[in-house]
Amino acid sequence: MTETISLELTRKDFVSDQTVRWCPGCGDYSILAQMQKVLPELGIPKEKIVFISGIGCSSRFPYYMNTYGIHSIHGRAPTLASGLAAANPDLNIWVVTGDGDAMSIGGNHLIHAMRRNVDLKILLFNNRIYGLTKGQYSPTSRKGKKTKSSPMGSIEQPLNPLTLALSAEATFVARAMDTDTVHLGEVLRAAAAHEGTSFVEIYQDCVIFNPNEWAGIDDRRTRPDHVIYLEHDKPLIFGKNNDKGVRLNGFKPEVVELGGEFSEKDLIVHDETSQELAYILAHMEHPNYPPPMGVIRQVRKPTYTEELMGQVRMAQERKGVGDLQKLYHAADVWTV
Amino acid sequence: MAVIENAVEATAVAQPPTDKPIINDFAIVVATANGTGSQTANMALLRAIFKMGVPVNGKNIFPSNIQGLPTWYHIRVSQDGYTARRETNELLVAFNETTIYQDVRDLPPGGLCLYNADFRSLPTRDDVTMVGIPVRPFVAESGLKGKLGDYIANMVYVGAMAYLLGVPLAKIDEALDVHFKQRRKFVDSNMAVVRAAYQWANDNIVYNSLYRVEPMAATAGKMLITGNEAAALGAVFGGVSFAAWYPITPSTSLIDALNDYLPRLRRDPETGQATYAVVQAEDELAAIGMILGAGWSGARAMTATSGPGISLMAEFAGLGYFSETPAVIWNVQRVGPSTGLPTRTGQGDVLFTYYLGHGDTLNVILFPASVAECFEFGVTAFDLADELQTPVFVLSDLDLGMNNWMTEPFAYPEQPMNRGKVVTAADLQRDGRFARYLDVDGDGIPYRTLPGNPHPLAAWFARGTGHNEHAVYSEKPQDWENNMLRLRRKFETARQLVPDPIIQEEADAAFGIIAFGTTQYAIDEARDRLAKQGVATGFMRLRGLPINDDVRAFIGRYERLYVVELNRDGQIHKILQTEAPEQAARLVSLAHMDGLPLTARWVVEAIAAQEAGRKEQTSDD
Ligand SMILES: Cc1ncc(C[n+]2csc(CCOP(=O)(O)OP(=O)(O)O)c2C)c(N)n1
Ligand code: SF4
């Protein structure tokens, strides 16, 4: 009898032989577990999957994925990933980054990768603190946040990763949360399916240096009353008993109780293709609003590689396929 | 000339004779897990011994991880005042179950292991003494739970070690009092556990430790401080008014210390307003950009970083050099290339920093070797930067920056600040002319005005592009060359201004040794060991670059010189060979790099191997 070799991948195929070294209770563990669960479902050969990261606790993520990967330098992962994507369009490339890595030292690279719509899936683990360097404030830390490097409270306006991604014209912008594992899995699947840059902000718990950042929304029992799960074409309803919703009052979103003065038809209906709505949603921040979870914006535009290939094709059509020999012997080659 | 015989045996730690106590001359290693708060316990032991008047040094060998991985804290007790790391530790506190087998294996025969008796399995060794103490009962007794319970568990080994070593409880109390800044509530709750563990040890341990601490008077008037704290304090005394940085181990604690000292020490007495600013920049590139902006306008501006940050600063370093803008950059070195070993020590950034910047860039570097020098150079670096109008780099290292070292109290700077050649509106009124890059004095250092000077001649435009003596854009070949040659003249002037080397000559020295920074301690000890074998040596510790005539003269006095440093490629050796080419052949590189502080044993063995090789060669001839 001949043995059949199964091509089916399982979670185990993506678990590397490295011992995971985050602090006990760190939110990174559950994100890792979800990723390892989702990848085998995508039907992508393992050798085509690459994880690239910068520096930070979160950036150690690729150590634990049994795939190709690069643990690079602080803030620069998008540059390596963009080069790789342009050179190897059939790879499935994930960038794992922290709020400091992506939005402080690497802010510039992040913007440009998204603007170019490079085929990358960028996962930003947002714990609103610097973990690896032991607890300095980050560009996403709240104003007034007291840390070692802001002993009197941060005086800086925090950056909102979602509005930043939107203004960089990212074609896929979503949010998930480490403790909400089932939903996180769904968002990862959606990000994987998108062509072009997928940008996912993942609320992540740094239990050591910023343990209470997501208080109220990270607990499974109270969460339904404090976040909104977005679904395309569906009204913005939330609450344990589906008794709350969000409507527009002028340009301002407003949380309303359903059943009395307002009913479902007064509510905003989610439209993943609307950049305008996306901004409104992205600005709904905890604790003033229930922060939206899920896909905020998703549109299909030509990816960087498609544009690049398009140009090459056009040039060839116009000038014919190049002949290096001829170019070399052409008279004006050496004129600068 | 004496031959160094049996260097290995001669430097190996002698086995303790079974009956004679070993007083004030041993090393302890405390094995715990990262993030369990053992630092408080280790500092309590270190400080208590220090307060008994006994010279002591502590080194934290820690992982790049926040919680859970193994950490070792080395405490060296040395009546002779030696502070270098020792390869052998006779006493082990085994409080990490995951490393206990390895830790016990590393003990020398005759060693002592104090272990947590709650551990499930234990290594056995007949030639070391194993003493167990249960930890859980003491934690339960304290009533503290969770993380606090974990923290307080470490006090159990403090109490037991105090008993074993003969450290009075009152000294531990004093040490904790300093640690908790006189908040007695914390001191008392910790002391309750220490006392209980001490009592338990007294009642249950039937073993008279051979290793004892006995009071001395060698630490009176001294203090314990880390190099980073000392550097920050120096910078405050040096008049720092602006700092910009981006967090990176092992330099973070330098800025933390600035943030700690500045609010207390730098407020306007009349208005109560802060007279400084510390900015956490978005990256190191931004950090050096910010301090160059501040330095250009006359502020005493600094940043602190480590290897990866220095890499990012390369282009701005060139601008600072070429536009002649003062700034101070502390590089607390860790192990590279790349992210490397972020929590280990080394001296691998010398070559890169010396030439940092493209084109013909040359940088001034200071090498502190002690916390006192960190303080001193905290001041000196600003003076040099202002005097030479150039970025000044201070190359410290993780061992110096993050560990606690004994020192005399720092002296208040005697010299007033040197702000260099700054011309005021009144000067301009008198002289009637000003050219920013003119070499008026022949030393290569031009005069500068500061923005805000209202005189019509004062304004000039700083640029990274080619310029003439009037700071006007120029592509003229002669202008370019003149300017670059003047910058070289300025670098020659710098040779006379960087701190002189420290030189120790011996009559009949067989050879010279050259080093810089914290390798000094291993070398001091190694030289003593060599001297005991009748091998006298000369020693020069460099304190800065570029080198001056004293350095050349020292090299010229020896037939051969060993250049000792903590990197792979012998970086300072290369620089010395380039700068003193006529003497290059005398310089022998002894470079070593494993991420740990250098030991005397390594130095003696490396030199012995070289000397033996030489002997063979000569007898072959
Ligand atoms: C050029 C450079 N500067 C600084 C560092 C030190 N560093 C390592 S990680 C980090 C910040 C990490 O914060 P974040 O990106 O939020 O990730 P987290 O650790 O919270 O997951 C810093 C400043 C470095 N590695 N390289
Ligand atoms: S420091 Fe924070 S982010 Fe880093 S591993 Fe620990 S819990 Fe996670």
Which ligand 1 atom minimizes the distance to the CA of A101?
Answer: 15
In chain A, pLDDT over 70 holds for what percent of residues? 93
Measured CA to CA, the distance from residue B31 to residue B38 in angstroms comes to 9
Q: B36 C-alpha to center of ligand 1: Å?
A: 22
Please tell me the predicted confidence (pLDDT) of residue A331.
47
The pLDDT of residue A112: 94
Interface predicted TM-score (ipTM) over 0.90:
no
B91-137 confidence digits (pLDDT tens)? 999 999 999 999 999 999 999 999 999 999 999 999 999 999 999 99
pLDDT digits (tens, 9 = 90+) for B425-464: 999 999 999 999 999 999 999 999 999 899 999 999 899 9
Question: Which residues fall within 8 angstroms of residue B408, CB to CB, at 6 or more apart?
Answer: B221, B222, B223, B372
In this complex, do A107 and B282 lie within 8 Å of one another by their Cβ atoms?
yes
What is the band of A296 on the pLDDT scale with cuts at 50, 70, 90?
Answer: very high
Mean pLDDT of A109-135: 96
Supply the pLDDT for residue A314.
80
Is residue B53 within 8 Å of residue B216, measured between CB atoms? Answer: yes
**pLDDT grade, residue A318 (50/70/90)?**
confident
Provide the b/e sequence for B217-226 (b: ≥16 CB within 10 Å). ebbeeeebbb
Q: What is the mean pLDDT of residues B47-61?
A: 96
Question: How confident is the model over B64-74, as pLDDT tens digits?
Answer: 887 888 999 99
Rounded to an integer, the average pLDDT of B390-408 is 97
Region B158-174 average pLDDT: 97
- Cβ–Cβ < 8 Å for B346, B408: no
Q: Could you tell which of A101, A108, A128, A159 is best to mutate to test the pocket of ligand 1, judged by most ligand atoms within 8 Å of the CB?
A: A101
pLDDT at B10 over 50: no
Q: Are B228 and B375 in contact (CB under 8 A)?
A: no
Which chain A positions have a beta carbon within 8 Å of B338's beta carbon?
73
Smallest CA–CA separation between A303 and chain B, in Å? 29
pLDDT digits (tens, 9 = 90+) for A202-239: 999 999 999 999 998 988 899 999 999 999 999 999 99
Q: What is the mean pLDDT of chain A?
A: 91
Once rounded to an integer, what is the mean pLDDT over residues A267-293? 96
Q: In chain B, what percentage of residues exceed pLDDT 90? A: 86
Q: Has residue A7 got a pLDDT over 70? A: no
Q: Which of A79, A128, A132 best tests ligand 1's pocket when mutated (most atoms within 8 Å of CB)?
A: A132
pLDDT of residue B15: 47
Q: Which two tokens stand for residue B507?
A: 């009559």
Average pLDDT taken over every residue of chain B: 93
pLDDT over 90 at A249, yes or no: yes
pLDDT at A336: 38
Question: Which residues of chain B neighbour A209 with C-beta distances below 8 Å?
Answer: 66
Q: Tell me, using a 6 A CB cutoff, whether residue A196 lines ligand 1.
A: no
CA of A21, closest atom in ligand 2: 5
Stated as kind and residue range, the H or E segment containing B173 is helix B169-179
User: How far apart are the CA of A135 and the centre of ligand 1, in A?
Assistant: 10
The whole-number pLDDT of residue B67 equals 81
- Gap between the Cα atoms of B134 and B151, Å rounded: 15
pLDDT of residue A39: 97
Say if residues A206 and A218 touch (Cβ distance below 8 Å). no
The stretch B51-57 carries a mean pLDDT of: 96
Q: Within 13 Å of residue B187, how many CA atoms lie on the same side as its CB? A: 16
pLDDT in tens, A160-207: 999 999 999 999 999 999 999 999 999 999 999 999 999 999 999 999
* Per-residue model confidence (pLDDT) at position B96: 95
Which chain B residues contact residue A29 at CB under 8 A? none
Among A280-294, A297-311, A319-333, the range with the most confident prediction by mean pLDDT is A280-294
pLDDT score, position B37:
84
In a mutational test of the A interface, the residue from B282, B312, B332, B402 whose CB has the highest number of chain A CBs within 10 Å is B282
- Written as six digits, the tokens of B301 are 């501006």
Taking the CA of residue A74 as reference, the ligand 1 atom at the shortest distance is 26
Radius of gyration of chain B (CA): 27
